[in-house]
Amino acid sequence: MSSSDKHLQANLTSLSERITAAARRAGRPTESVTLVAVSKTFPAEAVLALARCGQRHFGENYLQEALAKIEAVRAAAPGLPLVWHFVGPIQSNKTRPIAEHFDWVQSVERLKIAQRLSEQRPAHLPPLNVLLQVNISGEASKSGVAPGELPALARAVAALPRLRLRGLMAVPEPTDDPQRQRAPLAAMKALFDEQRAAGFADWDTLSMGMSADLEAAIGQGATMVRVGTALFGERVR
């Protein structure tokens, strides 16, 4: 094993310990939290190194980079059952490769995008797992549907035949202060529970929590955390 592989393995071990500790504090089993390793800007070799340690879920933001990486990983390790999540902004003319090459899309915020993903999902693949991204901090520049518009979007997306709507995703405004991290995360959990009670009882995924706030997110009910920096190191771009 190379020294950078050892480094990744050590990061994965300490991250798993953080997740386990946070889940225990919340009175939940560790298995109730899925770790998505966000490998954007890092090479296929880093994905393969983590995959050799047992990591299965990987997240990507930039489509061209992601497609090349998925291809390289498949070529190097055919048959490795990795699960790819698209978590970045989606342009409507780029939906086809997303529908063809990913297992999950976490960043759906408009019906038009969802319709295209549903139409373009290949027939030989299972329905595409989808989360609706919510703009929970209300920042003008941030992606995501406004909480008030979520119920209508959820009903429309749930009706699309080739998508499987699984829940919600958010990227709250970053802060290192655990007190200030909590409010938007709690608001997401409330929205998630409201929608489940309003007819989406089958929703099983609340994706929130990144390197800096995963403890707070798990404390507020996250079932999926998306972690880049704490695994791969600082991104240079």
Residues 6+ apart with CB under 8 A from 225: 19, 33, 34, 35, 36, 207, 208, 209, 210, 214, 217, 218
Q: How far is the CB of 96 from ligand PLP (least distance, A)?
A: 21
Note whether 227 binds ligand PLP by CB under 6 A. Answer: yes
Note whether 226 binds ligand PLP by CB under 6 A. Answer: yes
Q: How far is the CB of 159 from ligand PLP (least distance, A)?
A: 26
How far is it, in rounded angstroms, from Cα 68 to Cα 74? 10
Note whether 87 binds ligand PLP by CB under 6 A. Answer: yes
Cβ distance to ligand PLP smaller for residue 92 or 229 = 229
Cβ distance to ligand PLP smaller for residue 99 or 230 = 230
Report yes or no: 105 and 98 within 8 Å, Cβ to Cβ.
yes
Cβ distance to ligand PLP smaller for residue 85 or 162 = 85
Give the sign of the dihedral formed by CA 180, CA 185, CA 188, CA 192. negative
Give the 3-state secondary structure of 114-145: HHHHHHHCCCCCCCEEEEEEECCCCCCCCCCE
Give the footprint of ligand PLP on residues 36-65 (CB under 6 A).
Answer: 38, 40, 61
Under DSSP, the state recorded for 213 is: T
Per-residue x/- mask for ligand PLP, residues 185 to 214, rule CB under 6 A?
A: -------------------------xxx--
Give the footprint of ligand PLP on residues 169-188 (CB under 6 A).
Answer: 171
Report yes or no: 124 and 130 within 8 Å, Cβ to Cβ.
no
Stretch that binds ligand PLP, among 5-13, 94-102, 191-199, 226-234 (CB under 6 A): 226-234
Cβ distance to ligand PLP smaller for residue 106 or 195 = 106
- Cα angle 101-105-111, degrees, rounded to a multiple of 5: 115
Q: How far is the CB of 19 from ligand PLP (least distance, A)?
A: 13
Helix (H), strand (E) at residue 180: helix 178-197
Q: Which residues lie near ligand PLP (CB under 6 A)?
A: 38, 40, 61, 87, 171, 210-212, 226-230
